[in-house]
Every structure is written in C-alpha cells, then in structure tokens.
C-alpha cells in the first residue's frame, strides 16, 4: 500500500516506574533521516530506538520526541557536581573582586549554572528500554495509519491523472498519421503553385513526404510510454515503498513526451504535448510526497 511521507503519530506505554510518551512526525525528504530527542538518561537507548524507526520509515525525515514521566512514588534526586559548583563560586568571587562589588553569591545562582545539578541515573534504568520501545512502536503504528490514509488519497489521484495522460497520448497516436497525410497534400499544392502547372515528379514528392514522416515518427516513444504506463500502474498496487520507482518513471514520462514535442510538426500535437506536460508536473508534485 502506498504511504505518504508526511504524517504524525503518538504512542504511550506505562509501567510501575512511570509513563513513556513518544511523538513522531515525518516530512518529505529525498533520503531517510531520523532525528531523536530524549532525556539524557535515555541516551543509551538511542541506537535501539533509531533502529525501530528506520525499520518503519524508509524514506523521508522523521523527528521523534521521547518524554518520561516517573510515578508519583518515585522521587528523583539530582546529583550535585561539587567540583563544578566550587569552580563557579571561585569564578564569581574573582569577578566580584575585580569589579569591586559585593562578593555575596546566592546559592540559587550557583545551582542554576550548567552541569551543577545532574540527572541521576538509577540502577534500574536499563529495565526501561522495553517500555520505551513499546511506546515507540505505538507511535509508529499511529503514524502509519495517517500515512496510509494520505497514501491512498495520493494513489487515487495519481491513477486518475495517469488515465488522463493516457487519453492525451491516445489523441496524439490518432493524430500522428494525419500529420503526414496533410503534409503530402500541402506540399503537393505548394509545388504545383510554384511550378505554375508544370508536371510534378511523383517519386520526388514521395521522397520528401517519406523524409518528413521519418523525422516525425513517434512510434517508439508511444510504445515506450505504454510500457511505462503499465509499470506505473503496477507500482501503485505494490505493498512496499515505491516513491523512488515512481519518481524514476516520471522522469521517463517526461523524456518521451519531450521527444514527441521536439518531433511534432503539427499545432494540434504541440497543443496536446503542452497539456501532457502540465499533467505530468501535477503528477510529479504528488509523487514527491510518496515514501
């Protein structure tokens, strides 16, 4: 099933030590990128959490936020880095001496400095990994539900636009043989006018028409487009990430349509090519949202 690269999910898991809350949001990105923010005491879990996210998010940028709420019964007492605290006190006293101001330094000022108070990591902290991963998986489940809903909307829109594109290509296919026939008539009339009624060389006229037909022949482009259309339709029904494949096929669509446009020697075909390019641009924008 097609998934959008954008989405949001939230998951929670509770246990005796407390409650873990995980939020994850994803946005478009050409590659897979995971950013994780969690409490310092959980940094040892980052590898496992990152691996869990990478298993579910194949393409796009994922931002994951982990919060931890200890139970009311649990009292977390931060540890004090006495060496850092003394260093700040000495620095403040030296500064007060240099500035000739009062050296009375409030305890609150020292405590508020960086690394004076540090989160204590309990011995049981390693037991929290299963709880964290459970919350992560629930957040990813919620994310997947949203991404699948948006992905289905994208699939329906792309399928409809692909059919519209196929209809334009069919009009080009029908029009192409008429271009050569009309050129034959116009060339014959132009030559007759220039020659003032003199006899035309049928063989020479046929050669000129054949040269134009060869230059304007788009049979190969039409055949390749049909093949690409078939691959595109198949990709829309795959149960795996198909964003890169669809992106590649869009480039192939553009290449064939551009070639048809460069070979066109007819206003009607040129007009159809312009419409096809407009439809392709809309499709390309949608494909950029697919994982």
Q: What is the pLDDT of residues 95-153, one digit of tens each?
A: 888 888 877 888 888 889 988 887 654 444 557 999 999 999 999 999 999 999 999 99
| Structure tokens that stand for 260 in this block | 């048809």
Burial group, residue 218, by CB count within 10 angstroms (0-12, 13-18, 19+): buried
Looking at the structure, tell me whether residues 83 and 15 fall in a common domain. no
Domain count, the chain: 3
Query: Pick the residue with more confidence: 182 or 109?
Result: 109
What confidence score (pLDDT) does residue 158 get? 96
**What is residue 213's predicted lDDT score, i.e. its pLDDT?**
58
**Which residue matches tokens 């590649």?**
248
**Residues 97, 190: one domain?**
no
The domain containing residue 207 runs over which residues?
Answer: 151-287
pLDDT reported for residue 11: 97
Residue 100 lies in a domain: yes
CA distance 164 to 158: 10
Per the CB < 8 A criterion, the answer to whether 38 and 66 are in contact is yes
How many angstroms separate the CA atoms of 278 and 186, rounded? 31
- 47 and 96: one domain? no
Q: Which of 32-41, 202-211, 235-244 is least confident?
A: 202-211
Dihedral-angle region of residue 18 (phi above 0 means left; psi in -120 to 50 means alpha; beta otherwise) = left
CA distance 214 to 222: 15
Judgement on whether residues 103 and 192 belong to the same structural domain of the protein: no
> Which pLDDT score is estimated for 101?
83
Contact 155, 287 (CB under 8 A): no
For residue 123, what pLDDT is reported? 44
For residue 176, what pLDDT band results from cuts at 50, 70 and 90?
confident
- Residue 97 confidence (pLDDT): 84
Q: Are residues 140 and 155 in the same domain?
A: no
| Same domain, residue pair 136 and 17 | yes
- What does the pLDDT read at residue 244? 92
User: What is the pLDDT at residue 195?
Assistant: 59
* 258 and 175 part of one domain: yes
- Are residues 68 and 102 both part of a single domain? no
Q: pLDDT confidence of 189, banded at 50, 70, 90?
A: low
Domain co-membership, 199 together with 167 = yes
- CA–CA dist 264, 221 (Å, integer): 12
User: How many whole angstroms separate alpha carbon 92 and alpha carbon 101?
Assistant: 11
Which one, of 246, 255, 56, lies nearest residue 155 by Cα?
246
In the predicted model, is pLDDT for residue 75 greater than 80?
Answer: no
Is 11 in the same domain as 137? yes
Is the domain of 25 the same as that of 88?
no
- Average pLDDT of the chain is 86
pLDDT, residue 32, reads 86
Kindly state whether residue 2 falls inside one of the protein's structural domains.
Answer: no
Residue 1 lies in a domain: no
Pairs from 277-285 (Cβ < 8 Å, separation ≥ 24): 279/161, 279/164, 279/165, 279/168, 280/165, 280/250, 280/253, 280/254, 282/161, 283/158, 283/161, 283/162, 283/165, 283/250, 283/253, 284/250, 284/254
Q: How far apart are CA 7 and CA 152, in angstroms?
A: 13
- Decide if 225 contacts 256 (C-beta within 8 A): yes
Residue 207 and residue 253 in one domain: yes
Which residues 6+ apart lie within 8 Å of 196 measured at CB?
Answer: none
35: domain CATH number is: 3.30.230
């Amino acid at each position: 099933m097609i998934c959008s690269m954008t989405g949001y999910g939230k998951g929670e898991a509770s246990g005796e030590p407390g409650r873990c809350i995980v939020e994850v949001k994803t946005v478009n990105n050409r590659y897979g990128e995971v950013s994780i923010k969690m409490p310092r005491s959980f940094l040892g879990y980052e590898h496992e959490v990152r691996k869990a996210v990478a298993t579910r998010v194949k393409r796009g940028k994922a931002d994951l936020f982990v919060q931890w709420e200890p139970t009311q019964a649990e009292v977390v007492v931060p540890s004090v880095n006495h060496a850092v605290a003394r260093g700040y006190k000495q620095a403040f006293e030296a500064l007060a001496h240099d500035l000739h101001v009062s050296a009375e330094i409030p305890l609150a000022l020292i405590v508020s400095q960086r690394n004076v108070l540090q989160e204590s990591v309990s011995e049981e902290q390693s037991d929290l990994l299963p709880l964290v991963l459970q919350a992560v998986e629930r957040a990813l489940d919620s994310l997947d539900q949203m991404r699948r809903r948006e992905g289905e909307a994208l699939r329906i829109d792309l399928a409809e636009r692909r059919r519209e594109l196929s209809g334009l290509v069919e009009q080009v296919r029908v029009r192409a043989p008429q271009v050569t026939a009309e050129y034959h008539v116009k060339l014959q009339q132009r030559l007759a006018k220039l020659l003032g009624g003199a006899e035309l060389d049928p063989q020479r006229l046929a050669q000129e028409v054949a040269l134009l037909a060869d230059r304007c022949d788009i049979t190969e482009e039409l055949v390749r487009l049909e093949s690409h259309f078939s691959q595109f339709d198949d990709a829309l029904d795959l149960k795996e990430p198909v964003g890169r494949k669809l992106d590649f096929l869009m480039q192939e669509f553009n290449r064939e349509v551009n070639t048809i446009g460069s070979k066109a020697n007819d206003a009607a075909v040129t007009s159809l090519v312009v419409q096809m390019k407009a439809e392709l641009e809309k499709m390309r924008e949608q494909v950029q949202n697919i994982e």
